[in-house]
Amino acid sequence: MPYVKIKIMEGRSIEKKQKMVEQVTNALVNSLDVKPDDVRIEILELREGTFAHAGKLASKKTE
């Protein structure tokens, strides 16, 4: 632990995702006094047509 799951709409570059996991890992190391080796992050990318808000299926643009 900690085990982190981050849900985002599909479409980000691998570089952006690498930057995200680095910054989120640092945020957890600083705030929870854990070691980087303790931190696991799973990225779940939701495809268009798989997420709805207020009864409407979201497309990438509206995300």
Which among 1, 2, 19, 21 is annotated as catalytic?
2
Tokens 């945020």 belong to: 27
Query: Cα–Cα distance between 49 and 62 in angstroms, integer?
Result: 12
| Residue 36 appears among annotated catalytic residues | no
Query: Cα–Cα distance between 58 and 31 in angstroms, integer?
Result: 33
Query: Cα–Cα distance between 55 and 33 in angstroms, integer?
Result: 41
Q: Which of residues 14 and 61 has its CB atom nearest to a copy of itself in the complex?
A: 14
**What's the min distance (Å) between Cβ of 39 and a copy of itself?**
6
Residue ranges binding a copy of itself (CB under 8 A): 1-9, 12, 14, 16-28, 30-32, 35-37, 39-46, 49-57, 63
